[in-house]
Amino acid sequence: MKDLMLSEAGFLALNAGSSSLKVALFPAGGDEPLMTGQADRIGPEGALKLKDQDGEVLENAPGLIDSHTNALAVVIATIKRVFPELRMAAVGHRVVHGGLDYAEPVLVTEEVLAKLADLEPFAPLHQPHNIAGIRAAEEAFPGVPQVACFDTAFHRGQPFVNDTFAIPHRYYEKGVRRYGFHGLSYDYVTSELARIAPHLMQGRVVVAHLGNGASMCAIYRGKSVASSMGFSALDGLPMGTRCGQIDPGVMLYMLDRENLDTAQIRQILYNESGLLGLSGGLSNDMRTLEQADNAQSHRAIDYFVFRVQRELGAMAAVMGGIDALVFCGGIGENSRVVRRRVCERLGWMGIEIDHGKNAENATILSSEFSRTTVMIVNTREDLVIARAARSAAGITEGTDA
């Protein structure tokens, strides 16, 4: 393990999901974390593993993580044991929904927490855990600034036509709008493109954040102009267990003909659909589906690829063309099969990939004959959160506390 300056401040990035908690501990200067880890399947079978920057396991707690509070307690205890001289300067939190009020990271106050709690119906599987993570961190680090970073913030400047639904305008005034999500990921990808390929940021880019949660974003001259996700994190592409785009009439059918209540419908759409539902309950994990190679897995992958291709065409139409397609997220960064199949039959968009580069997970996937650049950018939501926490604490990158 590399030595840590005793006077150095630490910045903790927390990403609380419905049944997971991702953590990364950063030093005052630099973008490489001192510690990373994740708690999965939080509940009776929850497990947590933490590693240092050299890959050494610092904590391994299988089957002992039954709540987000418990998971964070293990994280905090590990930090204090491994880095006893570290001074926590700020804690940054991913918050899925910022509503209409928040278009950039904010310091958390009781007023902010009250507004975030009001948004829980907009993101029922995520927002309560985001808030619980903030509360737990406040208790663990009294007096330390807590910074909320919003997935919806990146999209708040979208044009009205992509911000609204064709329902009575009074609902728009009440906040029933297309918010878009995965903004922390898109924020990182655009900043990375500005660094490594600035000419692309002057044009028309579609970013495909493909993972257990999946969405796509049309980015024109560095700004979000359209997103596949809308009012909730259900819309757009099919996901691990979420349905993606669906005719509202299906929900009316469930209500009227099957006599399901809203809780039952929510359970189906959020937890029983997507890749899991399409594969007949086989799996919500693309890796498992690719390995299964059977009729159930084929139909799930086929539909996923079809929807990505369809959304890509829509995004290009919004911008009047496309100059680059960027893959990120767990599936986008690692599934050679999905990337290859998405790019098939897209020669009319100027997309042609080099299959050798795709097999190697290279940064540039497009062939020398492709008019459209195709890339992989490994997204770093944790780094976006850490940078926001540093800024809130008044520490710039590359300095020591």
Residue 106 tokens read as: 């904010």
In angstroms, the CA 197 to CA 189 distance is 11
In angstroms, the CA 38 to CA 23 distance is 6
* Residue written as token pair 């050679």: 336
Q: How many CB atoms lie within 10 A of CB 122?
A: 20
Instruction: Name which of 159, 147, 143, 219 is nearest 183 in CA terms.
Output: 219
What is the amino acid identity at position 132? Answer: A
Q: How far apart are the first and last CA of the chain?
A: 21
DSSP class of 155: G
* Residue written as token pair 């630099």: 30
* Residue written as token pair 């299988």: 62
What is the amino acid identity at position 28? Answer: A
DSSP class of 219: E
In angstroms, the CA 213 to CA 226 distance is 17
Active site residue 235: no
Instruction: Name which of 136, 116, 43, 15 is nearest 389 in CA terms.
Output: 15
φ, ψ for residue 88, nearest 5 deg:
-75, 120
Instruction: Give, in degrees to the nearest 5, the angle at Cα 143 between 137 and 146.
Output: 45
C-alpha distance from residue 151 to each of 232, 258, 297 (Å): 11, 34, 30
- Asked if 339 and 314 touch (Cβ cutoff 8 Å), the reply is no
The residue from 151, 187, 323, 382 that is catalytic is 151
Residue 211 tokens read as: 């993972």
φ, ψ for residue 52, nearest 5 deg:
-85, -175
In angstroms, the CA 82 to CA 9 distance is 14
Q: Which helix H or strand E contains 36, and what residues bound it?
A: strand 35-40
Contacts of 166 (CB under 8 A, 6+ apart): none
Residues assigned a catalytic role: 151
